[in-house]
Amino acid sequence: MSKGTLEERLERLRQLRDAVPDDAALSTLRKVLRDRSNLIVTEAAKVIAHLSLHALIPDLLGAFDRLFENPVKTDPKCWGKTAIVKTLSRLDYGESAPFIRGLHHIQMEPVWGGQEDAALQLRALCALALVACTDLSRNEVLRHLVNSMADPADPVRLEAVRAVEQMNGDEAGLLLRLKARIGDPRPAVIGQVFDSLLNLERDGAIPFVAEQLKSASVEVRDEAALALGASRLATAVSSLIETWKEAAEPEFRGILLRALSSSRQASAIEFLLEIVRTGLSRDAESALDALKLHESSPEIQAQVEEAQRERNR
């Protein structure tokens, strides 16, 4: 690729997205994958993914290896390595070696006041990519994912949970239950555990997740409620309604109503409408707020307006 400012070179690379992937284009992309700028390598990987150029997989792997040499200098922020992993996944690359290498990579870089690990997204993407690798046994993949579910970085743990869900099977459900019992410093990770468990086991997971509605942890309790609602399982509605009837804290009651609304189940919508009609003012306001989720539904909005008229009468 001809010289110019970095932005000019990047723009010429972007224009290759609309080019015919002929020998000249492939030659250009092979060359820029060896560029010293990780931003150029990053853009080249994106173009290769866009054009689905499987022929350049060996060149991507070569660039990936090179960016591990003095990585803070050759690939600051891990942008190049992360883009290559995304592209390999997009191209359905099924050999585990690069993903395992990325999964274990920690890249501490100087920031104001100390150092920061720049490889969080890289490790997270590699955890997900392992699921599709054909050269690993199921047990080998699960072993890697168990380690990643204990990674210091929140994004890695979260994507590892999603990866375990994609593995399917009884072992995946048991690992998710164990992770839920052990807990996590970040509520969002536990929320993903609940979501994944419900996706895997469906109705079979409802008693387990509903049990967490009584958790001493406010965050766990809230995540369980939202996960039950998001599952859109009819059998989750009764657990949410019974918990709402017993709950005393206004904030939690409001979250339960939001969860019911997100379930989109007819019984949940009717429960919310009945609160609008006859509930205490504070509960009616919370129910109306929860029902805003359905503002795009003329049918439900008509029911809400009728419930408000009945209340006023």
pLDDT of residue 313 exceeding 90, the answer is no
**Which two tokens mark 105?**
């990579």
Segment holding 111, helix H or strand E: strand 108-111
Question: What's the half-sphere exposure (Cβ side, CA atoms, 13 Å) at 218?
Answer: 7
Q: Is the pLDDT of residue 2 over 60?
A: no
Query: What share of the chain has pLDDT > 70, as a percent?
Result: 99
pLDDT over 70 at 3, yes or no: no
- Res 209 pLDDT > 60: yes
Of residues 251, 261, 185, the one with CA closest to residue 228: 261
Write the pLDDT tens digit of every residue in 216-236. Answer: 999 999 999 999 999 999 999
| Predicted local confidence at residue 255, as pLDDT | 98
pLDDT tens-digit readout, 35-80: 999 999 999 999 999 999 999 999 999 999 999 999 999 999 999 9
pLDDT at residue 93 is higher than 60: yes
| Prediction pTM value | 0.92
Q: What is the pLDDT of residue 61?
A: 98
Per-residue pLDDT at 248 exceeds 70: yes
Give the sign of the dihedral formed by CA 155, CA 120, CA 130, CA 42.
Answer: positive
Query: Is residue 281 predicted with pLDDT exceeding 80?
Result: yes
Residue 305 is predicted with a pLDDT of: 95
Residue 262: pLDDT band with limits 50, 70, 90: very high
Which single residue is written with the structure tokens 């990936």?
64
How high is the mean pLDDT of the chain? 96
State mean pLDDT over 1-9.
77
Q: Per-residue b/e over 193-232, b at no fewer than 16 CB within 10 Å?
A: bbbbbbbbbeeebbebbbebbeeeeeebbbbbbbbbbbbe
Instruction: Tell me the per-residue pLDDT of 153-192, one tens digit each, with 9 for 90 and over.
Output: 999 999 999 999 999 999 999 999 999 999 999 999 999 9
Q: Please list the helix, strand and coil fractions of the chain in percent, rounded to the nearest 5, in that order.
A: 75, 5, 20
CB-based burial label for 26 (10 Å; 0-12, 13-18, 19+): middle
